[in-house]
Structure 1
Amino acid sequence: MIWIIGGTSEARELIDNIEDIEDFIITSATESERQFINSSKLVVGRMALDKMLQFIEDKNINLIIDLSHPYAKVVSKNAKEASKTKNIKYIRYIRCKTNIPSWAVYLKDYSECISYLRTISGNVFFTTGSKNIGDFEKVRGKNRFVYRILPALESIEECKKYNIHMKDIVAILGPFSKEFNKAMFREYTADYVVMKDSGKKGGVLERIEACKELGITPVVIGRYEEEGIESLEEIERFIRNYNMKGE
């Protein structure tokens, strides 16, 4: 059985392309993924390392294809560890990093971003989702922080947890064009826009271009280096060859 770790648009695209293959299962951390993947093969739920090991055992997994989000570091780390423990093959799909212009503020990780936010003043528009709201709120001070999140229950609950005002929540599903980003950043009079380097699929270029045209400072949180395959077509070919060989 092939285990595909999902949570990205590439995972959804891959599932659409391999509908004819029976011997796979896909997992996602959140219920919202059911709106994008209409498949009986989808299993929803967060898994720490121990649950991954049990999942591999229960489902007789012999190959892991990791298409989790570029910033889901713990998921990939645990999946790699599980593959080593169970002595099964692990393949990681990676999005190409973006060529960030020199005029943008580029920070290597969330820790550097937090430190940077302590030094600025003004309106900050976050496009990083809901996961790190708690960390950002600790350094908000007198600034206005606006969070663009997915219109999913778990995202709204995270905002409620940290008492984010409704006027500072933008719950909407992307991807967004440059013009749409411009309209939104302008509406909230953003001085800074915080984003992840989520690659072309993640719409980072549209955000940076919108910032440039509006004179806004883009703050890009970098991601760690990892090895893997950058072509979704190559991933699909590998799965099909693997499936034909019956390994």
Structure 2
Amino acid sequence: MIWIAAGTEEGRRIAKALAEKDQEIMVSVTTEYGGSLLRRELENVRIIDRALDYQSMGKIIKEFPITKIVDATHPYADLVSKNLIALAEKNVISYIRYERPSLKELIQKEIPEHEKDHILWVKNTGDAVEALNKSRGKVLLTMGSKTLGDYLKGLDSSRIYARLLPVAKVMEKCRALGLPPGQILGMQGPFSTEFNRATLKEFNIESLVTKDSGLTGGVREKILGALETKVQIIIIERPGVVYPRVFSDMEALMKEL
């Protein structure tokens, strides 16, 4: 059995392709919402739709005949990846990482030198908050709700706008943190360059914060839309994880599987 740790568009694609080849698979995602998306596409496949820590991952490996782990989790799910790597080594299971190509590739190839001045790379949320405190104007956060509280603590809350998934759990977190409804953009992407540009203009955004989530999922269009409106772009770098085996080409990965 192949365990696909998903949570990304690519994870769903890998699972669907293997299921069509009649491979025995199990797929895990961290939310019920992610599980519902998978169930629309996959039949007769075991799907786990909750967050897993090291202990619960270990129980899964003991319970099911896992022979291979495909880690297609989000580039910033570093703790999940580290746990999977450790458990694969401990249980002598093959581990393969699918890693989305970095935004640095896009910026290097497609962005003119004079526009790169609008892009600032930072190591973490704290560095992003520090950079934003040196600037003025409204800020659009586009990295989910996990670190929203850090921005609300570190910045004038009237500056903060957050584009988030329109699910009850996320909206409730925004309410609990005190972010006004008028500063919450509840919508599901991916979004076009034109839509991003229009959003930034409509709310008079001066700075956009994102993660290096890769060239898929609408991040490319987000960057291009921000550049067209001369908005400052702050990109939080990926965490440093040493993967024992990595693929960034989907076709090559599928041949391996």
SS in 2 for 1:65: strand
Aligned to 1:26: 27
| Number of equivalent positions | 239
Going from structure 1 to structure 2, the CA distance change for 1:34 and 1:67 (only over 3 Å counts) comes to same
Aligned to 1:7: 7
Aligned counterpart in structure 2 of residue 161 of structure 1, from 152, 176, 179: 176
Aligned to 2:253: 235
Where structure 2 has 5 or more consecutive residues not aligned to the other structure, the ranges are none
Q: CA deviation at 1:212?
A: 1.7
Q: Which amino acid aligns with 2:31?
A: T
CA distance in 2 between counterparts of 1:215 and 1:90 reads: 42
Aligned to 1:48: 53
Going from structure 1 to structure 2, the CA distance change for 1:164 and 1:96 (only over 3 Å counts) comes to same
Q: CA deviation at 1:180?
A: 0.4
CA distance in 2 between counterparts of 1:139 and 1:214 reads: 25
Percent identity (aligned): 30
Aligned counterpart in structure 2 of residue 137 of structure 1, from 149, 152, 163: 152
CA contact (8 A) 2:120 2:233 kept: yes
CA distance in 2 between counterparts of 1:8 and 1:68 reads: 6
Q: CA deviation at 1:232?
A: 1.5
Query: TM-score, normalization: structure 1?
Result: 0.91
Instruction: State whether structure 2 residue 185 is matched by structure 1 residue 180.
Output: no
CA distance in 2 between counterparts of 1:143 and 1:120 reads: 14
SS in 2 for 1:4: strand
Task: Output aligned runs, 1:113-124, within 5 Å.
Answer: 113-124=128-139
Residue by residue over 1:72-104, the C-alpha shift from the partner in whole angstroms, topping out at 9 and shown as x without a partner, is: 111111111111221211111101111335311
SS in 2 for 1:18: helix
SS in 1 for 2:19: coil
CA contact (8 A) 1:122 1:191 kept: yes
Aligned to 2:63: 58
Aligned counterpart in structure 2 of residue 72 of structure 1, from 70, 77, 80: 77
Name which of structure 1's ranges 71-80 and 102-111 shifts more when overlaid on structure 2.
102-111
Aligned to 2:224: 209
Aligned counterpart in structure 1 of residue 235 of structure 2, from 220, 226, 232: 220
CA distance in 2 between counterparts of 1:142 and 1:83 reads: 43
CA contact (8 A) 2:15 2:25 kept: no
CA distance in 2 between counterparts of 1:141 and 1:67 reads: 36
Q: Which amino acid aligns with 2:255?
A: R
CA distance in 2 between counterparts of 1:14 and 1:130 reads: 26
Q: Which amino acid aligns with 1:4?
A: I
Give the number of the structure whose residues are more often helix, by fraction. Answer: 2
Where structure 1 has 5 or more consecutive residues not aligned to the other structure, the ranges are 240-247
Q: Which amino acid aligns with 1:26?
A: V
Q: CA deviation at 1:142?
A: 5.6
CA distance in 1 between counterparts of 2:199 and 2:185 reads: 9
Q: Which amino acid aligns with 1:60?
A: P
Q: CA deviation at 1:32?
A: 0.6
Name which of structure 1's ranges 221-230 and 83-92 shifts more when overlaid on structure 2.
221-230
CA contact (8 A) 1:133 1:158 kept: no
CA distance in 2 between counterparts of 1:62 and 1:114 reads: 43
